[in-house]
Structure 1
Amino acid sequence: MNSISADRPQTVIVTDPTAKVMFTGETVSLACDIRKGSGWRYSWSRNTQGRLESLYARATESQQKHILHSVRESDSGEYLCQGERGQNPVIQSFPGTLVLNVSGEKPWPVITQNPPSGEIYTGERVTLSCGFGGDPADWEYLWYKDILRHTVPNTDSSRTDGSSFTISSAALAHSGEYRCGAARGRKPFYSVYSDPLTLEISEVFPAETVTLRCVIQGSSTDWMYKWYRDGQELPVDKADSSSVNGDTYTILSADQSHSGLYTCRGELTRRASVHSLIGSSATLSVRGGKPKHVLTQNAPSRVMYTGERVTLSCGFGGDPAGWEYLWYKDPLRHTVPNTDNSRTNGSSFTISSVALAHSGEYRCRAARGRKPFYSDYSDPLTLEISEIKRLNNISSMISISADRPQAVIVTDPPAAVMFTGETVSLACDIRKGSGWRYSWSRNTQGRVESLYARATESQQKHILHSVRESDSGGYLCQGERGQNPVIQSFPGSLVLHVFGGKPRPVITQNPPSGELYTGERVTLSCGIGGDPAGWEYLWYKDTLRHTVPNTDSSRTDGSNFTISSAALAHSGEYRCRAARGRKPFYSDYSDPLTLELSGEND
């Protein structure tokens, strides 16, 4: 027995997210909202091509929401919900309906820029907007610069607000590629990333030509523009308008006097009383001198070998946007041409296979603008190319230079003798050149055994943990760099001696043992009896729990412990031991030496 009341309430379906269009993969919540009464039981159905299909077996109070997880296009359609309450009679609400549209592709946002794309100078305000061209409801917008790992944070000079990202005062650091994305829902559903928009922020240098454009919302072709610097109107005769609408102000040769805040406003030519609001503004900062570029070299080696690859980079620590780079070798009359084995690419100049003819002094400078503005020349960088001799009988084409560098093995700790249990580091040191790959081998009874499968840059050090006597022997390291030809260093060698027991130091006394009196000076020395290199010495008195501290009258210095003015309290048994290495290796304790102090000899 169903009953229909005269004031039968209306059901409304509310979506979360609250959008007209959903996208495949989103989670969508449909809520059945009945504002009148309580105790409703909810039923859901779906209209598929005119056929009404129930989504639940019966109406229950727990079914107020119908959740669609990871929706697909096939979930599109008309959804109906209705409430009922009571028993005999059952009171029903009017049904609520909603047409759900599911799009098969993720939304693709688009970035727009205001002012429109063009040259932007330091100090200007610029706003980037992220838009879908569809329903913006419930989206949270995310902004990225250069990399997609981290979102752009809010700072004093840049801030996000809804779908906009505003830089209030552009700086060189704001140059870069910007992307945006959006997310919505409790379990976030993400759009794809937008295509990148590149911001190029330019500094102004003396003698450059600068053009500013006045942007007025809803501007008319009938505007006449006025320009102001720091609030003072600029005379018309100094404005060189380069556009039909007269909306540009051009500084032909900038100097520091042109620095300041530029603003503009429009006035209708046929209605002089009608003025626009203040238009766009820009803070212009003119630097005190021309930029001077700095040349760097990769690999950073003074001497290169024929056949190696080298890249020179031209930079000035500022914004590289808009610069074209020019390269010179020896004289400054002609730029360096591109050839089969040397080529410029942006701010880089790469020689893929150096030859003796590439030796010489290199400089660079840069230019930008339609009427080119040139930077100063860089200081010179000298390339020295050494000739190599090829060993034709080696299939991998190993090359040996006349001034082939020598590899040296350096030990840590820096000692000729090691002891069982110590950790020993062998480092392959090649002082000339860079980019070396290191190989290690060991000579055991005349048989040379490779310690690694191949040479790599990470193998500069070979570490021996907790050495044993069996680790004694001859070790060799060698460096190689480049490809076809491979350039090799002379190998370095070292004979490692490992002793089977811990060293036991011996204490000696100066003056030699005998009766000591208060006030006398006495020095105890701790000797290992072998190579003292790298050892740190520890002193103990009576107990081995604590080391002897430095005081006004007693002090350690290397392997010595000196009492400058002996007192009765200095009487006792003294021991020493030694430690070395980053993870300390300790010697045994010495045998004790007893000091007996007597009162003054009358």
Structure 2
Amino acid sequence: MGKHKSVSYSTGWSNPIRVSVSARPKAELSYGNVDVPIGGSVTLTCSVNPSSSTWKYFWYRGVKTSEPLTTQDDVILSNGQIRVSQGGAYWCRGGRGDPVYYTDYSDSISINKIVANKAVVTLEPNWSEIYRGETFTLRCEISDGGDTEWDYEWITASSDKPSEQSEYIVGSASTHHSGKYWCKGKMKNEKSSTDWSDSITLTVYNKPKPVVKVSPSWPNPGDLVTLSCEVEHPSAGWRFYWYKAVPKPSDNYLYSYQLLPGSSNGTEEDSYIVHGHTHTAGYACRAGRGDPVFYTEYSKPKFFWSGDFHASASLKVSPDRVQHFYYDSVSLICGGNSTSWRVMRFTKDGDLSYCFSWGTMTGSTCKIYSYTQSDAVYWCESGSGEFSNTVTKLSW
């Protein structure tokens, strides 16, 4: 028999397929809210770019090396999403194939669980209207906080933000402390916090200057005179301090102030009774509150005039007549046991000034002209602190 030759066969080449090898993708984690409300949950979403229906998603809480979360771990899983009700740090990654090929982990997100404890902002002292220079303390208090250790977070509409402490102490208030303040507590070593407190509004005003009033302005000798003290932006906590105005002709200041009897610790009442005065006198007040005491400015002094004609200081008018003519010059002459004098004027508009503003003071005499005057009363003050009891209303 003859030998057969063996024959080999092959197919043609297949169409080519392109395989692209990319770097390992990194999962991306997105979220809408990081605070879990009381009794609620928040939703996190995991994705891989480029997306594919073949990806499965694995979720982690606490540390990346832990086992993936399951529905038994107080979470609800769906394709690429998870609903969580516990606080903590969360990661995700994608995986596919068998054996599973994993993407890189996503960046982590810290979820904060809101607890039932209530945060409250309190202010000490307990008045919301504060003045420049006053001391105040804001506190973040946690109701039913028990033995839990807390950190604190503040937000404010003011330009000065408190640090992460339970107290915010300001030794000298400024206008930039004005605004709304909120706080919340965060449990130490846990991703849980209270909800934000209700806000408290703080308004810082410029230091007030009170107004003292005298009634009556023209008492008969021996009458009782009532002083009252009014503070702008009325608020709680004030005590009132009452002073006699003492002339200081040789000083740049018009008056010094001496505390009246019974006023060293202030009075709760905003009024004060002056007993038994028979001569002209000036009075002032100021208010104070807090510890240490924050004082307002002194009020402008207010005067009452009494007709005691036996005073050691006096005021005479020259020429001494009831009616003066327009463009007349009039001399107001101070007399008494002093070498230093000034003549004061108090207008019906409440303007207090002395002679050099509207006349010429030479020694004990103030020379004035009718065209410089307004409806006012005049008196003398001595260098030894005396007021003249002859007060003159001049008319032209």
TM-score range with shorter-chain normalisation?
0.3 to 0.5
TM-score (norm 2): 0.44
TM-score (norm 1): 0.31
**More contact order relative to length (CA 8 Å, sep ≥ 6):** 2
